Amino acid sequence: MKQQTSEQLFGQIQDYIEHLSYMREPKGLYEPIEYVLSLGGKRLRPVLMLLAYNLYREDVEQIFPQAAGIETYHNFTLLHDDLMDKADMRRGKPVVHKKWNENTAILSGDAMLILAFQLMLRQCPAEKMQRVMEVFGQVALEVCEGQQWDMEFETRQDVSVGEYIEMIRLKTSVLLAGALQIGAILGGASDEDVRHLYDFGIQAGLAFQLQDDYLDVYGDPAVFGKKIGGDILCNKKTYMLITALNRADESDRKELLRWLGACDFVAEEKIAAVTSIYNRIGMAGICEEEIEKYYSKALEFLNKVSVDASLKENLRTFVCRLMNRKL
């Protein structure tokens, strides 16, 4: 079977998304949508969907609408999340509620969510539509649930690691897993394979999000792409912070809480102090172990998928690279 690498699939879906024309009236509604979709990104979810489909079928172009649909949904969540988080920039560009205004961010976001459903339905084979739409609806709702937990956690100091993992499962993992699942369903995979690919996505998503938390503290700024310590500065309840609040001794915990409550501080000092507390707990090791645990679980689920190992190579390589692992 003719297979394509993730780079090839990226190129094709990127091209497809660029040529989706939303240029109808009123421009005030559709321009922000084109803007958000043109900001780029890794197109992770559509590429995963196409890779899963490509395990079973060659004609990946058949599901470009669904791949674009899941990317449109993802970008809708970024648009509304940025508004709720009062963010200023996304991918180096001003966010919609700054470039336009808050009402535009609300309404164009709503339209994007509807467009995502429309794309998901477009040219979807009749006999698979019910299942595909059930997965998509469920996953879309779970992402909202994840965002709700995330917002509620901001004002709580007693979030457990279990609650945090459940939150990132909903907010990040299920959409990656859903992308793989929909690709597999459309490709005609067995129910078992569909489930394994979903589980692979869940575990890989958790590993990926924990790695993101980890790199915020221990990453190489040149490679990571963001400034180190960003999560620390804004008190983001990451895996690291929650673990530290649970595991630090009395004096470190007090110091940590002091930093969390501080209004006036030198950024470098706060980052250095919190990182020292993390180091005293051995956070790097704890975190690496946790990432490894989810990552190897992910690969186990991928192994269970009943297609020839050589066919799974592109998918494995793609996730491997995302995790900065040796191939």
Applying CB under 8 A, which residues contact its own copies?
Answer: 25-26, 28-29, 80, 83-84, 103, 106-107, 109-111, 113-115, 117-118, 121, 126-127, 129-130, 133-134, 137, 140-141, 144-145, 147-149, 151-152
Residue found by looking up tokens 């040529």 in the block: 19
Residue 190 to residue 111: CA distance in whole angstroms: 34
C-alpha dist (Å) from residue 30 to 71, 109, 111, 139, 143:
16, 10, 8, 25, 24
Largest CA distance in the chain: 62
- The 10 Å CB-count burial string (b at 16+, else e) for 58-87 is eebeebbbbbbbbbbbbbbbbbbbbbeeee
- Residue 32 or 219: the one with the smaller Cβ distance to its own copies is 32
Q: Which residues pair with 89 in a beta bridge?
A: 94
- Residue 177 or 271: the one with the smaller Cβ distance to its own copies is 177
Min separation Cβ 114 and its own copies, Å: 5
- Residue 36 or 302: the one with the smaller Cβ distance to its own copies is 36
Residue 269 to residue 255: CA distance in whole angstroms: 13
- Residue 118 or 324: the one with the smaller Cβ distance to its own copies is 118
Min separation Cβ 23 and its own copies, Å: 13
- Residue 7 or 134: the one with the smaller Cβ distance to its own copies is 134
Residue type, position 307, single letter: V
Min separation Cβ 193 and its own copies, Å: 23
- Residue 133 or 320: the one with the smaller Cβ distance to its own copies is 133
Contacts 24+ apart (CB under 8 A), 301-310: 301/196, 301/197, 301/199, 301/200, 301/203, 302/196, 302/197, 302/200, 304/192, 304/196, 305/55, 305/193, 305/196, 305/197, 305/200, 306/190, 306/192, 306/193, 307/55, 307/56, 307/193
- Residue 86 or 280: the one with the smaller Cβ distance to its own copies is 86
* Cis peptide bond upstream of 65, omega within 30: no
Min separation Cβ 93 and its own copies, Å: 21
Min separation Cβ 62 and its own copies, Å: 16
Min separation Cβ 25 and its own copies, Å: 7
Min separation Cβ 35 and its own copies, Å: 15
Three-class SS state of 23: coil
Min separation Cβ 306 and its own copies, Å: 28
- Residue 223 or 234: the one with the smaller Cβ distance to its own copies is 234
Structure token pair of residue 124: 């979807």
